[in-house]
Amino acid sequence: MEPKGEPMSLVLELPPELESELAAQAADAGIPLSEYALRLLAGQSSRPALRSGAELLDYWKAEGLVGTKPEIVDAPAHARVLREQAEKRARA
């Protein structure tokens, strides 16, 4: 991600819970929190409209997200477990 023109500094006051969540996500991605936040901000304005699962998978591959969870050896089985957990979750 190359900056265009002069870089701008921005100070954000985040609730501690959000800061912890973002820090954990950055750690999972193996990048510094500042770089993770920059990627999030840049991605919000440039994310393509995705119309199918195949397009979503292509997008994830292009972003380098596929294969970032080596602890998940059987992705379809993991997805089934997550879906089952979501179905059992109480609705508010």
Give the global pTM.
0.42
Residue 90 in domain: yes
pLDDT at 47 over 70: no
Residue 29 in domain: yes
pLDDT above 90 covers what percent of the chain? 10
Q: Which domain holds residue 65?
A: 50-92
pLDDT above 70 covers what percent of the chain? 88
What mean pLDDT value characterizes the chain? 83
pLDDT at 3 over 80: no
Domain identity same for 80 and 68: yes
- Is the Cβ–Cβ distance between 88 and 80 less than 8 Å? no
Domain identity same for 59 and 30: no
Residue 6 in domain: no
Domain identity same for 54 and 92: yes
Residue 87 in domain: yes
- Is the Cβ–Cβ distance between 5 and 44 less than 8 Å? no
Place 56 in a pLDDT band, splitting at 50, 70 and 90.
confident
Cα separation, 51 vs 53, in Å, equals 7
Q: Which residues contact residue 42 at a Cβ distance below 8 angstroms, ignoring those fewer than 6 apart? A: 1
Q: What is the pLDDT of residue 2?
A: 53
Q: How many separate domains does the chain show?
A: 2
